[in-house]
């Protein structure tokens, strides 16, 4: 494996069974993602962007081919191993934030740290640092329902980075936000990529979102295609 | 390991805090398990109360003798000559007045229940002062002892509680006979408190019993073997009596309400199945309501196990809460509640529902069983929630 590659997809196949029919999404998909890259995956709705992100995140398993992360194949891990792998390596950012509605901002951000052996005070320290980084130090005690969409997404970003994973996977992170708020979120991701060296893979169908990325690929009907004019 | 614990603790706390979203369903589950537990405890406390009322009446060192095959005092007859022979049986304690025995009569008088006004049979026991003294817990609560040879009676505290017309000083009419209440007695809550006591000779007279009795009690010498008396009866052709300890006799009578306990268990099992069906529905709803949260936690790296434990704990907490309310309700409404029912001799036995800690434990176990079975299958579904649900836009 190329030392610079954090991900390598080799001949990846993915199909879903719907009743008797099998819907093929990817056939022989090949892809490399470099360490330190901010990759935007664009494409029309239904082109397989989320499915691809799920394969990268170990959330879904390919029906064929190999998914390499660093020097390990993750497509052959079982559910329990994948959960551990995700906890150690991945921060997820969702289109609809996916905060726990019954927890305040700080307790939401703390969730990934509950999977570590850190002490309570150490966890509190890291939560405070992460919230500070996203500019929400003063909202630690606020409930998700008391925050705007942009603020909730920033809490979600804090949650994604609190355990310091190498990789952030974002599925339409600005899909539910207005332009101005979206730009703030994208700037924040850009900062995390540039200043903190996070590798970011972001699914979006918004061309202006892609401008923040270092690289962009286009997906159509399960295939990478050259950028259309 | 500490992570398994902190994950599960976090998930449990989140589930509990999401309960207000499913408030009514969750309350229904709590209520259902409360009702099941309360009903079970009502039946068990009733059977237990009756049993202890009967059992505590019997002494281990008193032989209880009735005519062979008569099962209860009411249908027994003992002639004076038989009583005389029985007094000489081996192992019977003696004092300066001779063998410590009490030959007694047991007849029925009418009573009227305070609660319903309906007529009921009450036992009138004829005995002498020696017999009174054989009841170790005997205490006069009000008034005085009946005077031998007169129409005076003393009434048990239970009779006074449950039946009208037995207050101190009242006149009791039964057939052609009339009795005067001169005292109220207690015997530590046991079955004797459901009786009316009068002088044996007077009862023989008024009920035309000549010199015959119905039962006999004999104080055993310390370490005496009741078998010696049984053998004595067996070897004498003039005698044909059933001999047992008073404790055994009442213990047997106390079992006559054990069908109540069995009935209670059957009823509450059926109801528990109903509660379980409702609770399962509640818990499956909880899992689908929380699907996106479960999936998100799984995406973050939380284990299957934490989703399983969290859901199971939610079910157990709801059912246990119901169980707690059920126990409290049973305690408030049933414990110590007075009741009277037909005892072994077709006479009324007054007793109190008795909610013992052992019964409460049984109620708690029932609640936890409901919680476990309503939680375990939904918990399995929670653990199986696909992580990709976290990325789906619905919800
Ligand atoms: N769990 C699934 N079962 C069946 N079909 C699915 C499933 N997930 C996605 N698909 C199908 O795969 C295709 C790609 O979906 P997706 O990756 O969500 O596209 P995008 O994110 O680019 O809109 C769609 O046609 C979708 O209907
Ligand atoms: Mg998508």
Window A:116-145, CB contacts with B under 8 Å: 116-117
Question: Residue whose CA is closest, atom 7 of ligand 1?
Answer: A16
In angstroms, the Cα distances linking B325 to A133, A143, B30, B266, B363 are 48, 32, 8, 21, 11
Please state the ipTM of this predicted complex: 0.93
- Return the ∠ at Cα B281 (arms to B265 and B289), rounded to 5°: 145
Summarize pLDDT for B101-145 with one digit per residue, the tens.
999 999 988 888 888 888 888 999 999 999 999 998 899 999 999
- Specify the residue with its C-alpha closest to ligand 1, atom 20: A46
Name the residue in chain A with its Cα closest to that of B18: A102
User: In percent, how much of chain B has pLDDT > 70?
Assistant: 97
Q: Which of A157, A182, A158 lies closest to A170 in space, CA to CA?
A: A157
Contact B393 A96 (CB under 8 A): yes
Cβ A94–B302 below 8 Å, yes or no?
no
Nearest-CA distance from B371 to chain A in Å?
23
CB contact under 8 Å between A102 and B387, yes or no, is no
Q: How far apart are CA B105 and CA B137, in angstroms?
A: 20
pLDDT of B341 over the 80 cut: no
Token pair for A79:
């559910």
Structure tokens at B31: 């209520």
* A83, A101, A203, best to mutate vs chain B, most B CBs in 10 Å: A83
* pLDDT single digits (tens) B353-371: 889 999 999 999 999 999 9
Based on its alpha-carbon atoms, the radius of gyration of chain B, rounded to whole angstroms, reads 30
Report the separation in Å between the CA atom of B377 and the middle of ligand 2, taken as the mean of its atom positions: 31
> For position A3, what pLDDT does the model report?
65
Residues of A with CB below 8 A from B17's CB? 102-103
Which tens digit of pLDDT belongs to each residue from B176-210? 889 999 999 999 888 899 999 999 999 999 999 99
pLDDT at B319: 96
For residue B120, what pLDDT is reported? 84
Chain B residues whose beta carbon lies within 8 Å of the beta carbon of residue A98: 292-293, 296, 390
* A59, A80, A95 ranked by CB distance to B304: nearest: A80
Q: Is B342 on the interface with A (CB under 8 A)?
A: no
Ligand 1 binding pocket, CB closer than 6 Å = A 16, 18, 23, 25, 43, 45-51
Cα gap B94→A45, rounded to integer Å: 104
Substitution target in B20, B295, B300 with the highest count of A β-carbons within 10 Å is: B300
Q: How confident is the model at residue B70 (pLDDT cuts 50, 70, 90)?
A: confident
User: Closest ligand to A21 CA?
Assistant: 1
pLDDT (0 to 100) of residue B12 = 93
Look at chain B and count its residues: 395
Q: Which residue of A has its CA nearest to B387?
A: A59
The pLDDT of residue A228: 60
Test B6 with A114 for CB contact under 8 angstroms: yes
- How is residue B221 annotated by DSSP? P
Cα–Cα distance list, A3 to A34, A75, A168, B323, B381 (Å)? 9, 20, 19, 61, 41
The SS3 call for residue A136 is coil
- Which ligand sits nearest to residue A173's alpha carbon? 2
Domain A5-225 has CATH 3.40.50.300: yes
A34 Cα to chain B: minimum distance (Å): 23
Closest residue by Cα to atom 5, ligand 1, is: A16
Q: How far apart are the first and last CA of chain A?
A: 33
Look at residue B343 in the predicted model and tell me its pLDDT.
64
pLDDT in tens, B276-325: 999 999 999 999 999 999 999 999 999 999 999 999 999 999 999 999 99
Q: Is A88 an interface residue toward B (CB < 8 Å)?
A: yes
Q: Whose CA is nearest to atom 27 of ligand 1?
A: A46
What pLDDT, on the 0 to 100 scale, is given for residue B261? Answer: 84
Per DSSP (E only), the strands in chain B are 62-67, 94-95, 98-99, 101-113, 119-127, 139-143, 152-156, 163-164, 171-174, 177-186, 196-199, 215-219, 241-245, 338-342, 348-352
What atom in ligand 1 is closest to the CA of residue B391? 18
The residues that bridge with B101 in the sheet, in sequence order, are: B218
Instruction: Please give, rounded to a whole number of angstroms, the shortest distance from the CA of B287 to a CA of chain A.
Output: 15
Alpha carbon distance B215, B78 (integer Å):
7
Asked if the model's pLDDT at residue B395 lies above 50, the reply is no
| Residue A9, beta-bridge partner list | A31, A67
Closest CA to B14 of B302, B270, B251, B247: B302
- 3-state DSSP assignment of residue B96: coil
DSSP designation for B78: B
pLDDT at residue A38 in the model: 96
At B394 the pLDDT is: 55
The residue whose two tokens read 């850009």 is: A190
Q: How far apart are CA B305 and CA B26, in angstroms?
A: 23
Helices (H), A23-178: 49-56, 79-89, 105-110, 120-133, 149-161
| B175 pLDDT more than 50 | yes
Hey, what's the torsion of the CAs at B109, B115, B116, B120, to 10 degrees? -20
* Most ligand 1 atoms within 8 A of CB, residue of A22, A46, A204 to mutate: A46
Q: What are B232-286's pLDDT values in tens digits? A: 999 999 999 999 999 888 888 877 777 888 888 899 899 999 999 999 999 999 9
Average pLDDT over chain B, rounded to an integer:
90
Q: How far is the CA of A145 from the centre of ligand 1 (A)?
A: 29
- By alpha-carbon position, which residue is closest to atom 26 of ligand 1? A46
Q: Which of A22, A43, A50 to mutate to test the pocket of ligand 1 (most atoms within 8 A of CB)?
A: A50
Q: Which helix (DSSP H) or strand (DSSP E) does residue A34 occupy?
A: strand A21-34
> Contact at 8 Å (CB) between A131 and A139?
yes
Tell if the CB–CB gap between A100 and B296 is shorter than 8 Å: yes
Q: Which residue has the CA at smallest separation from atom 4 of ligand 1?
A: A16
* Integer Cα distance of A162 and A123 in angstroms: 9
C-alpha B174/C-alpha B196 separation (Å) is 13
User: Domains of chain A: which residue ranges?
Assistant: 5-225
The Cα A12–Cα A28 span in angstroms is 5
CA of B329 to the centre of ligand 2 (A): 53
Q: In sequence order, which residues have a C-beta less than 8 Å from that of residue A64 and are 6 or more positions away? A: A11, A12, A13, A14
Q: Which residue of A has its CA nearest to B8?
A: A114
B291-300 vs B258-289: helix crossing angle, rounded to 10? 70
Check residues A159 and B3 and name the one with the higher pLDDT.
Answer: A159
The alpha carbon of A193 is separated from its chain's Cα centroid by a whole number of angstroms, namely 13
Helical (H) or strand (E) element with B190: none
- Alpha carbon B273 to its chain centroid, in Å, reads 25
Cβ atoms of B27 and B282 closer than 8 Å:
no
Instruction: State mean pLDDT over B324-347.
Output: 81
The ranges of chain A with pLDDT < 70 are 1-3, 228-229
**Rounded distance, CA B338 to CA B160, Å?**
12
Q: Which residue has the tokens 């959330």?
A: A59
CA dist B35 and B43 (Å) reads 12
Ion ligand 2, residues whose Cβ is below 5 A away: A 50
Q: Is A87 on the interface with B (CB under 8 A)?
A: yes
Query: Given an 8 Å threshold on Cβ–Cβ distance, is B387 in contact with A60?
Result: yes
Q: Is A38 exposed, middle or buried (0-12, 13-18, 19+ CB in 10 A)?
A: buried
Please state, in angstroms and as integers, the Cα–Cα distance from residue B276 to each residue in A153, B325, B367, following that order. Answer: 40, 17, 10
Q: Which of B50, B31, B114, B43 is nearest to B334 (CA)?
A: B43
* Ligand located closest to A51 CA: 1
| SS3 state of residue A212 | coil
Q: Is A112 on the interface with B (CB under 8 A)?
A: yes
Proximal ligand: closest to the CA of A45: 1
């Amino acid at each position: 494996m190329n030392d610079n590659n954090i991900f390598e997809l080799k001949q990846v196949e993915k199909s879903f069974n719907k009743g008797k029919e099998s819907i093929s999404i990817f056939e022989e998909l090949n892809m490399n993602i470099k360490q330190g890259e901010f990759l935007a995956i664009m494409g029309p709705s239904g082109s397989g962007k989320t499915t691809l992100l799920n394969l990268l995140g170990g959330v879904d398993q390919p029906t064929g081919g190999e998914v390499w992360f660093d020097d390990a194949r993750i497509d052959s891990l079982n559910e329990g191993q994948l959960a551990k792998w995700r906890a150690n390596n991945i921060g997820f950012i969702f289109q609809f934030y996916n905060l726990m509605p019954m927890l305040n901002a700080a307790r939401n951000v703390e969730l990934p740290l509950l999977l570590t052996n850190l002490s309570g005070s150490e966890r509190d320290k890291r939560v405070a640092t992460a919230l500070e980084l996203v500019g929400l130090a003063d909202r630690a005690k606020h409930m998700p329902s008391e925050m705007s969409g942009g603020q909730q997404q920033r809490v979600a970003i804090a949650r994604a980075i609190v355990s310091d994973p190498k990789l952030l996977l974002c599925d339409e992170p600005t899909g539910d936000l207005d332009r101005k708020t979206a730009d703030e979120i994208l700037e924040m991701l850009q900062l995390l990529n540039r200043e903190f060296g996070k590798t970011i893979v972001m699914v979006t169908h918004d061309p202006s979102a892609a401008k923040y990325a270092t690289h962009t690929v286009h997906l159509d009907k399960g295939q990478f295609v050259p950028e259309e004019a | 390991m500490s992570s398994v614990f902190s994950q599960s603790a976090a998930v449990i706390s989140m589930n509990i805090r999401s309960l207000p979203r499913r408030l009514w369903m969750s309350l229904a589950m709590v209520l259902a398990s409360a009702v099941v537990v309360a009903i079970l405890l009502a039946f068990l406390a009733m059977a237990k109360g009756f049993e202890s009322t009967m059992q505590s009446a019997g002494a281990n060192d008193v032989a209880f003798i009735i005519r062979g095959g008569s099962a209860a005092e009411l249908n027994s007859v003992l002639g004076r000559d038989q009583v005389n022979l029985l007094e000489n049986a081996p192992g019977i304690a003696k004092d300066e007045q001779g063998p410590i025995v009490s030959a007694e009569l047991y007849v029925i008088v009418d009573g009227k229940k305070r609660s319903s006004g309906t007529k009921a049979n009450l036992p009138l026991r004829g005995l002498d002062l020696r017999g009174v003294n054989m009841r170790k817990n005997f205490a006069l609560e009000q008034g005085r002892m009946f005077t031998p040879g007169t129409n005076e009676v003393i009434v048990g505290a239970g009779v006074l509680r449950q039946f009208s017309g037995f207050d101190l000083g009242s006149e009791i009419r039964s057939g052609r006979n009339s009795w005067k209440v001169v005292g109220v007695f207690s015997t530590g809550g046991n079955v004797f408190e459901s009786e009316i006591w009068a002088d044996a000779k007077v009862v023989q007279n008024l009920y035309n019993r000549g010199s015959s009795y119905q039962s006999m009690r004999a104080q055993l010498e310390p370490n005496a073997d009741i078998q010696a008396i049984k053998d004595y009866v067996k070897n004498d052709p003039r005698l044909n009596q059933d001999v047992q300890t008073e404790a055994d006799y009442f213990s047997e009578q106390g079992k006559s309400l054990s069908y109540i306990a069995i009935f209670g268990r059957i009823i509450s099992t059926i109801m528990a199945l109903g509660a379980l069906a409702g609770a399962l529905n509640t818990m499956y709803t909880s899992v689908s309501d929380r699907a996106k949260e479960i999936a998100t936690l799984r995406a973050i790296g939380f284990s299957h196990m934490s989703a399983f434990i969290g859901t199971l704990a939610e079910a157990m907490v709801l059912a246990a809460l119901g169980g707690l309310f059920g126990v409290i309700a049973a305690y408030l409404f049933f414990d110590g509640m007075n009741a009277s029912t037909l005892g072994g001799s077709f006479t009324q036995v007054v007793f109190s529902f008795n909610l013992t800690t052992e019964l409460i434990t049984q109620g708690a176990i029932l609640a936890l069983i409901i919680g476990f079975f309503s939680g375990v299958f939904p918990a399995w579904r929670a653990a199986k929630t696909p992580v990709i649900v976290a990325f789906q836009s619905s919800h």
